[in-house]
Chains A and B, each alone.
Chain A
Amino acid sequence: DGGITQSPKYLFRKEGQNVTLSCEQNLNHDAMYWYRQDPGQGLRLIYYSQIVNDFQKGDIAEGYSVSREKKESFPLTVTSAQKNPTAFYLCASSGQRTTGNTIYFGEGSWLTVV
C-alpha cells in the first residue's frame, strides 16, 4: 500500500540522549516535512525538504537535525540540545516542491523523555 510510514510509534528517551525518528514514503513525493504537536496545540513545522540533499529550517528547528539522502526517506534526529522534546511528531509529504500542494501525513510518533 502507498503511504507514509513512521517508526517507532512510541519512543522513550533518557535525558541527554539523541534519538532518531524514521519516516519513509513510497508515494514518489518530492517534498517531505516534520511537524511537532504538543497537547492542545496546533502543529509546528520543524524542517522540510523539497529535494534530495537539501532541506530548510521551519519555525522550531533548534535542537533538531534532519537528512535527505534518498527521496523516500527523511529521518529526524532529536538531539540533547532540544530542551523539551516530549511531543507527538508527524512526518508528511507532498507531491511537488512548490508551496500550496496538499500535504499528506503519517501516523505519527510519540516521544517521551524519561
Chain B
Amino acid sequence: AQKVTQAQTEISVVEKEDVTLDCVYETRDTTYYLFWYKQPPSGELVFLIRRNSFDEQNEISGRYSWNFQKSTSSFNFTITASQVVDSAVYFCARTPGGGADGLTFGKGTHLIIQP
C-alpha cells in the first residue's frame, strides 16, 4: 500500500487560533481518493471529506478548509477559529492503490484546543 504521512503527532493551540494539519501521501496511481476523518474521545471515526485525484479545487465547509496540491502530494486540513470541541485525533487516508479496497491511514494528529 502507498503510505500516508502525518508528521505532526500532536498539536496544541489556544481556542480561536487557526491550525493546519499536514498530510503527505505517496502515489504511483493516476486515480486515487483522499479522505480526512475525525476521531473524538468516544472512538468512532467521523467522516469529514473525500476528494478524488482529478479534483484539485480547495474546499471550505464552515470553519474547515482543505488544500489539495498534487504537485507536492499533500492534502492539508485547516481549522479556522478553533474551538474546544475540535479537540480530537484527525486521520488522513487514501485508497491503497493497485485496485485494492479499503483505506491506508496516516498515524493521526492529536489536536488539543485549550480554552
* In the complex, per-residue mask of B70-114: 1 if CB is within 8 Å of any chain A CB, else 0: 000000000000000000000101011001111111111000000
Is B14 at the interface (CB under 8 A from chain A)?
Answer: no
Is B1 at the interface (CB under 8 A from chain A)?
Answer: yes
By beta carbon, the residue of chain B nearest A40 is B107
Residues of A contacting B37 in the complex (Cβ-Cβ under 8 angstroms):
105
Q: Would A59 and B1 count as touching, CB distance under 8 A?
A: yes
Tell me, in angstroms, the Cα distance from A90 to B47 when the chains sit together: 14
Chain A residues within 8 Å of B, Cβ to Cβ: 31, 33, 40-45, 48, 50, 56, 58-59, 88, 90, 92, 97-100, 102-108
By beta carbon, the residue of chain A nearest B103 is A103
Tell me, in angstroms, the Cα distance from A73 to B26 when the chains sit together: 33
Which of A40, A44, A59, A108 is within 8 Å of B43, CB to CB?
Answer: A108
Tell me, in angstroms, the Cα distance from A103 to B95 when the chains sit together: 11
Q: Would A105 and B102 count as touching, CB distance under 8 A?
A: no
28 pairs, A vs B, C-beta closer than 8 Å: A41-B108, A42-B91, A42-B93, A42-B106, A43-B45, A43-B91, A43-B103, A44-B105, A45-B96, A45-B103, A48-B102, A50-B101, A92-B45, A97-B101, A99-B95, A99-B99, A99-B102, A100-B32, A100-B33, A100-B52, A102-B47, A103-B47, A103-B102, A103-B103, A105-B37, A105-B45, A105-B47, A108-B44
Tell me, in angstroms, the Cα distance from A102 to B100 when the chains sit together: 14
Q: Would A107 and B33 count as touching, CB distance under 8 A?
A: no
Given A42-B105, A88-B43, A100-B31, output 17 extra A-B contacts at Cβ < 8 Å. A33-B102, A40-B107, A41-B107, A42-B91, A42-B106, A43-B105, A44-B105, A45-B102, A59-B1, A90-B45, A97-B101, A99-B100, A100-B32, A100-B52, A100-B95, A104-B47, A105-B44
